Structure 1
C-alpha cells in the first residue's frame, strides 16, 4: 500500500517555483498559445505539500489533440488518470520534484485546477481546512487520502468563492 507524506511548502516553495518555470518554458516552446498555470499545493505559499508540482496546461478545443501529441514528447502519459475529450494527464516521476501535468480545454468540465488555487490563495479557512485534511492522512493510504481530497474539492466547488470564477 502506497502511503502519503507531506511537507511544509516553505522548505519547498523556491525549488517548486524554479521547476515550474523550467517546465513552463519547455511547454511554451511546443505550445506557444497555451495558458500554463502553476497549480496544486506547491503553488500556495505556506501550505502543506506532498513535495511534487502540478501544472495545468489550458488550450482551446482545436489545439487539444495536437497538445496531447506534443506533451507526450516531454512527459509520460498518466494512464491511471481520467481521459476525456477535454482532459489528459501526464507525469514525470523522474523530475525533481516529481511533476504532474493536467491538460485541459479552456472552459471545459476539468478546467478547474487554477480555480482551486485561486480560492485557496484568497481564503485562509479553506486553505487551513485542506492542510488539516492532509495532516489527518499523514503516513496513511494514498488511495484513502485521494478519496478524501476529492470530497474536499467537490465541496469547494459548491462554495460561492469558487462559483465566482464561473462567471
Structure 2
C-alpha cells in the first residue's frame, strides 16, 4: 500500500469531487453530497482515493443506490451493508467510493470524523503517522488499525 502527500493528490480529488457532486445532485434530488475521507482533510496523507458521502432519507436509500449504479458504481464487496448504509465503488479507472447513508443514522459519523480532524491538526498528524506505519501492510491489517483510530477520534469530545 502506497500513500501520497496532500500536494500529490488533494487538488485532483477536489476537482473530481465537484464533478461527481454535480452529477449526483442531478440524479438524487435533495441529497446531501459531502467530500469525506483523507482527501477532504487538509494536510492528510492518503492512498489517493476519493470518498463521497451521499445522505438521503432512509426511505430513499435503496432507490438512491439503484440510481447511483447508473453513474458507474457497484456495491463494494466485503464492507458493512445495512438498511442505513451502502458503500459503492466506481467501476471505472477512478478510485472513487460513495458512502450512501440514511440521514440521522449512526453512519453520519463519516462527517463527524472528517470535521474532528479538520479542527485538530494534532489528530491529522497522528492519522498520518498511523498511515505511514501501515505502508507495506496488507489492506486488512491497515483497515483494522485505521478502525481503532477512527473509534478513538469519534469517542473524543
Which TM-score applies when normalising by structure 2?
0.95
Q: Is the CA contact (8 Å cut-off) linking 2:43 and 2:124 kept in structure 1? A: no
Residue 99 of structure 1 corresponds to which residue in structure 2? 96
- 5 Å-filtered alignment, 1:1-167, equals 4-74=1-71, 75-92=73-90, 94-96=92-94, 98-160=95-157
Partner of 2:106, secondary structure, is: coil
Q: What is the root-mean-square deviation in Å for CA atoms of aligned residues?
A: 1.1
Q: Is the CA contact (8 Å cut-off) linking 1:56 and 1:113 kept in structure 2? A: yes
Partner of 2:26, secondary structure, is: helix
Unaligned runs of 5+ in 2: none
Partner of 1:50, secondary structure, is: coil
Unaligned runs of 5+ in 1: 161-167
Q: 1-side partners of 2:77 and 2:44: how far apart? A: 28
Which TM-score applies when normalising by structure 1?
0.89
Q: 2-side partners of 1:124 and 1:101: how far apart? A: 26
Q: 1:45: Cα distance to partner?
A: 2.0
Q: Is the CA contact (8 Å cut-off) linking 1:10 and 1:45 kept in structure 2? A: no
